Amino acid sequence: MQRMKYLFTLLVLIGTISFGFATLPTTFPVQLEWKSDPIRETDESGLYTTEIWRFTGAIYDEHHPSLPYFFHRIPLDRYSKLSVSITQAVYEPFSKNSAPDDAVLEENIRINTSITRDRDQYFGKIQFIPIRKTGPNTFERLVSCILEINPVPAAPPVPATRGGDPTYTSKLSDGAIYKIAIPKTGVYKIDYNFLVNELQLTPGSFDPRHIQVLGNGGGLLPEPVSDLRYDDLVENAIVVAGEEDGSFDPQDYILFYAQGPHTWSYNNDAFQFQMNVYDLRNYYFLKIGTDTGKRVASQASVSGAYTTTTFDDYLRKEEEKVNLLDKYDLTQGSGRQWMGDYFKNQRSFSYDFNLSNLDNTEPVQMRVRFAGRADAPTTFRVKAAGQTFTSPSISGTVLTNPNATFASIGELNIWTFGAN
Q: Between 139 and 248, whose beta carbon lies closer to Ca ion?
A: 248
Cβ 245 to Ca ion, closest distance in Å?
Answer: 4
Whole-number minimum distance, CB 211 to Ca ion, in Å? 12
Shortest distance, position 251 Cβ to Ca ion, whole Å: 8
Closest contact distance (angstroms) between CB of 325 and Ca ion is 56
Shortest distance in whole angstroms from residue 249 CB to Ca ion: 4
**Of 206 and 284, which CB lies nearer to Ca ion in the complex structure?**
206
Closest CA to 83 of 57, 43, 113, 63: 113
- CA–CA gap between residue 265 and residue 219 (Å, rounded): 11
With respect to Ca ion, which residue has the nearer C-beta, 34 or 248?
248
User: Based on CB atoms, which residue is closest to Ca ion, 43 or 245?
Assistant: 245
Cα(330)–Cα(334) distance, integer angstroms: 12
Pick 242 or 396: Cβ nearer Ca ion: 242
CB of 204 to Ca ion, least distance (A): 11
The span from the CA of 327 to the CA of 306, in Å, is: 53
Least gap, CB of 248 to Ca ion (angstroms): 6
Question: Residue 399 region, left (φ>0) first, then alpha (ψ -120 to 50), else beta?
Answer: alpha
Q: Give 206 or 370: the residue with its C-beta nearer to Ca ion.
A: 206
CB of 253 or CB of 256, closer to Ca ion: 253
Label residue 191 exposed, middle or buried (CB < 10 Å: 0-12, 13-18, 19+): middle
- Residue 396: which of 419, 366, 417, 375 has the closest Cα? 375
* Contacts with Ca ion, residue ranges (CB under 5 A): 242, 245, 247, 249, 252
Torsion of CA 317, 322, 325, 328, to 10 degrees: -140
Smallest separation (angstroms) from Ca ion to the CB of 192: 10
Report the residue number, 190 or 407, with the smaller CB distance to Ca ion.
190
Instruction: Specify whether the CB–CB gap between 238 and 256 falls below 8 A.
Output: yes
Q: Which residue number is nearest to Ca ion in terms of Cβ?
A: 242
